[in-house]
Amino acid sequence: MTLASRRAVVRASLGVALAMVAVAALILPAAWAKLDKARNYEEERSAILVVQSLNTAQVQYNSQFERYARSLSELGPRAANLISPDLASGERQGYKFMVSGTPAGYTISAVPSVLGSTGSRTFYSDQSLVIRENYGQEPATANSKEVGSAAAKVGDSK
């Protein structure tokens, strides 16, 4: 093979490699965005399951102590031992959780540690056991839409 033909083969190979890099540069951002959205959804789903677990722990606590717990620490391993140490600390899988006592019962709130990165929804529940959600930075409240309701899903088109 002559020197000129070797150079032609190298140029062609370089052209193919550059084309592959260009295609990858176009495809990867879209793939990362979908991966982030899927991870975000899984963290939100996990937060809903944690809120359900906290509701269950509150029901158990109430049956033992004839009142609801006023904080996560009262539900934790150093007190009633109804939730894990990591949850008693207030954070799990990209969400911050808080339990507060009220005259009528309790409230549970869950907010993303980093809004938009670890979740796009906030969650709320109380002694009614209904879980409510809000899309965006405003915390969900007793007046927010119920998780899974058609009205709540309108904001899901993001």
SS3 content of the chain, % helix, strand, coil (to 5): 50, 20, 30
- Residue 120, pLDDT above cutoff 80: yes
Which pLDDT score, from 0 to 100, does residue 54 have? 98
What is the arithmetic mean of pLDDT over 7-33?
74
Domain map (residue ranges) of the chain: 3-157
- Residue 79, pLDDT above cutoff 70: yes
- Nearest in space to 57 (alpha carbons), one of 34, 38, 77: 77
* Verdict on whether the full-model pTM lies above 0.85: no
Pairwise CA distance, residues 145 & 122, whole Å: 11
